[in-house]
């Protein structure tokens, strides 16, 4: 089971701040929700699922954007 590390949460926050129309106005709970979606994707796809997608309507660029979460942003934890 994959989980997002503290470094990963910081990456998500930085990506959203720089690329999402809401900028730095995300609450910790909202960043955690993004992290949870990435964890689900990682569990389904492995490291290929380590990305954050911002829909075109929400992206500053006006285009759908995909941002990689680097290896330091997640880790593996065995089910107990």
pLDDT tens-digit series, residues 18-68? 999 999 999 999 999 999 999 999 999 998 889 999 999 999 999 999 999
Cα separation values, 15 from 4, 68, 77, Å:
15, 10, 25
Q: What pLDDT score does 80 carry?
A: 60
Q: Give the pTM.
A: 0.91
Does 28 or 77 have the greater pLDDT score? 28
pLDDT tens-digit series, residues 1-24? 999 999 999 999 999 999 999 999
How many domains does the structure of the chain reveal?
Answer: 1
Residues of the domain holding 48: 2-76
């Amino acid at each position: 089971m994959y989980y997002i590390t503290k470094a990963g949460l910081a990456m998500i926050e930085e990506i959203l701040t720089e690329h999402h129309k809401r900028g730095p106005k995300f609450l910790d709970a909202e960043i955690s929700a993004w992290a949870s979606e990435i964890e689900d994707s990682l569990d389904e796809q492995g490291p290929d699922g380590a990305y954050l997608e911002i829909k075109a309507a929400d992206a500053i660029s006006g285009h759908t954007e995909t941002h990689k979460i680097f290896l330091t942003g997640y880790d593996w934890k065995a089910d107990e």
